[in-house]
Structure 1
Amino acid sequence: MPYVVINRSNAFDPIKDVEHATEEAADAAARALLEAQPTASLLTAKVIKRYSAEVTVTAEAVEGES
């Protein structure tokens, strides 16, 4: 199962989108990020499940309206 690094100090950090094959690789990525951003608060997490959803949006004209 893949692992990810989560930067709790910056929810927009794209590091959370990178999956690492091993816990060791995620740990190395977290340590490298800490070298660049020493005040960051990081987590490593094991990906257990992936979720997705699909939304359909429809629109129709109301009679008598232009």
Structure 2
Amino acid sequence: MAQGIIWQKSSFSGGGDSSDCLEVAATAEAGLLVRESDEPGTVIETDRPQLAALISHLCPSS
């Protein structure tokens, strides 16, 4: 994994230093990286269309 990755917490995490949230980082090599803050060593590499499809599946609009 590349050094210097800047992780951004989900706005739904409630802020602060909680270890119970989703984090996302953008990289030139992988597109998007996703991890859960309490398991920072487990990282999923994806791209915008795949992540959008997952979010749409999990949170369908009413």
Which TM-score band (shorter chain)? Answer: under 0.3
Q: Please identify which structure carries the higher helix content.
A: 1
What is the TM-score with the length of structure 1 in the denominator? 0.27
TM-score scaled by length of structure 2: 0.28
> Which has the higher Rg, Structure 1 or Structure 2?
1
